[in-house]
Structure 1
């Protein structure tokens, strides 16, 4: 199946020693209400069963691509995913996390409505007892144009 390149989101998931969490993470991504996704699992030389789990998921869903590589750390794994990403937008998900089912639909909708190039959102932390804390680093969900991002980073 040829993916629609318009508004394709490449979701990069670095994978290392997360066998316990990986299925829930991937399930949360493939079950998004927005389905025009390219899902890139980057096995960063994980010594557990993660490499096989990644391959199993790729066999179940044609949107999933797998990279198996020597361990190089989180940034190296993300960069490996970026190297093969073909989406108009890039998203990162940590492999021990899961996301709400409408996350990408909401973020893309905001990007389109505001004609922005980037969107960020709050996140929730779930502790070992199941207590949920919303972490709101920006004060609100935000969208930014490339001009705004450069101005903030360059101090103008």
Structure 2
């Protein structure tokens, strides 16, 4: 690795990283911990930009953030959803790179430093890292790469979370999060990945997430869960439509991601509904879009096993029974 940072003259005039923190009714103490995890990094004030986008919380936390006021940009908007909040942050971001962070999570400083070293000293568009619910982590000495985002996605299962990587803002172009829908990360991340020419991947656990029963992903209301399923299906269709118009290598990479998402979607339909009739209707719709039966690919052992089961009526009955018991 070079010992000299890779900066252009223009880069020196703007922050290295813009951290976009999305906030909605979380504990202010959690938000402070999130901000302080960024302030603990080896970035001086000129190298970082911390943007807190408040998505219409019931009570603005601004009066409780006085001690951080010189370190953050606070923006409040009506409650328009996570996608709009992130897009608002992108519009404000001045850094060469962007990192999304949820307000109830935080960065694990010693491990995230490796990501900073990569964007400082190597030509890179994106650095992927791991997340953990543990409050501590151990840095890994090396990262895999560089490789194109297309090559990475063609050979690896992609983690969809937009908080799981730091990326060069310039590769965004006109790409933004789709507003008014759920599963926005699953649609955004693979499209961003295809735009990255130099990707590094580390097994270092640099992002701490809290498991909260009241979070969006843990809502148990049936109507909410059914909406998540419907939105997930629409994401798959939109990605399939985009894949049909991509160059061959990019299409192959996107098809792997689509197959993974389709597998996950069918699994969740079975797990959440326990309804064979509903599952049949879902599979009929997927068939019309050439998404079912699942393609005969050797992506992972898990994929091959699930495909073997779900592509037959008997296998689907086994899955239905197994997930009902697991339930």
Asked if Structure 1 and Structure 2 have the same fold, meaning a TM-score greater than 0.5 normalized by the shorter chain, the answer is yes
Greater than 6 Å deviation, 4+ residue runs: none
Verify: 1:68 aligned to 2:68, yes or no: no
State the aligned residue count: 142
For structure 1, the residue ranges without an aligned partner over 5 or more in a row are: 135-139
When residues 87 and 34 of structure 1 are mapped into structure 2, their CA distance, relative to the original with a 3 A threshold, is: same
Structure 1 residue 58 displacement after superposition: 4.8
When residues 85 and 142 of structure 1 are mapped into structure 2, their CA distance, relative to the original with a 3 A threshold, is: farther
Structure (1 or 2) with the larger CA radius of gyration: 2
- Which residue is 2:231 aligned to? none
Tell me the secondary structure at the aligned position of residue 12 of structure 1: strand
Structure 1 residue 98 displacement after superposition: 1.3
1:26-68 per-residue CA deviation (whole Å, 9 max, x = no partner) reads: 11111212231100000111113524335x2552x2x411111
Verify: 1:85 aligned to 2:182, yes or no: no
Scaled by the length of structure 2, the TM-score of the pair is: 0.38
Tell me the secondary structure at the aligned position of residue 90 of structure 1: strand
When residues 64 and 145 of structure 1 are mapped into structure 2, their CA distance, relative to the original with a 3 A threshold, is: farther
1:75-132 per-residue CA deviation (whole Å, 9 max, x = no partner) reads: 1101000011111100011100111224553213223444220111111114xxx7x7
- Which residue is 2:18 aligned to? 10
RMSD value, Cα: 3.1
> Which structure is higher in helix share?
2
Scaled by the length of structure 1, the TM-score of the pair is: 0.73
For structure 2, the residue ranges without an aligned partner over 5 or more in a row are: 1-10, 152-192, 196-248, 254-327
**Matches of 1:78 and 1:109, distance apart in 2:** 25
Q: Which has the higher contact order (CA 8 A, sep 6+)?
A: 1
> Which structure is higher in strand share?
1
Structure 1 residue 21 displacement after superposition: 1.2
- Which residue is 2:61 aligned to? 50
- Which residue is 2:271 aligned to? none
1:130-141 map, 5 Å: none
**Matches of 1:16 and 1:123, distance apart in 2:** 21
